[in-house]
Amino acid sequence: MPDTKRRKQAKILRISRSIHRTMGVFLCVCFFFMAISGTLLGWKKNSNGYILPNSAKGTSTTLKDWLSVDSLQTIAFQTLHDSISTELSTKLDRIDIRKHKGIVKFVFKDHFWGIQLDGATGKVLSIGHRKSDLIEKIHDGSILDYYAGTSGQFKLIYSSIMGLSLLMFTITGFWLWYGPKRMRKAKKNRHK
């Protein structure tokens, strides 16, 4: 390998190392939170209800036996205010109908509580703090939107930065591994 080519490869290695190190310093906190939250999200359904409340089982999986969604929603809102706090918003994020389990889950937008009702009887089956929703917001950066009251700008910026950073770490990390091997091989071939 000519000396100029070797110097060029050494320069690319130095630049890669510099980018890798600099990005690592600035983003290590973000990667730490992303790694921990991602691990917890992977375990949410296996946490015995600690991270995500376990899904209960209702009395009927036949929809014609069920109460109307309006009636179930009224019960969920009343339960929220009677059992947790009258100060909590009843603004819904989603209503999750689990026909095969006979339940309806009410997940709220402005806090992390969830209520599960029997679809047929309206009986409260579970009132749970959905830690998984908070962890997910931390994981994807939308926690900043949640507290700032914005509609996804922070999440978009955070996701873009983290995705591009991971791509750069992959590229520079590969080159930091492969570059020296390539240079050693070229040096070995030159001395033959």
Per-residue model confidence (pLDDT) at position 12: 80
Going from the first residue of the chain to its last (192 residues), give the mean pLDDT of each consecutive group of 10, the final group possibly shorter: 72 81 81 93 94 95 96 98 96 96 96 97 96 95 91 92 88 82 74 65
For 150-189, the pLDDT digits (tens) are 989 999 999 999 999 889 888 888 888 887 777 777 777 7
Per-residue model confidence (pLDDT) at position 142: 93
Residue 162: both structure tokens together: 């983290």
Per-residue model confidence (pLDDT) at position 172: 83
Per-residue model confidence (pLDDT) at position 41: 96
- Cβ–Cβ < 8 Å for 128, 56: no
- Cβ–Cβ < 8 Å for 149, 133: no
Per-residue model confidence (pLDDT) at position 25: 77
Residue 112: both structure tokens together: 């992390």
Per-residue model confidence (pLDDT) at position 90: 97
Alpha-helical runs (H) found in 91-152: 131-140, 142-148
Q: What is the DSSP-derived secondary structure letter of residue 80?
A: I
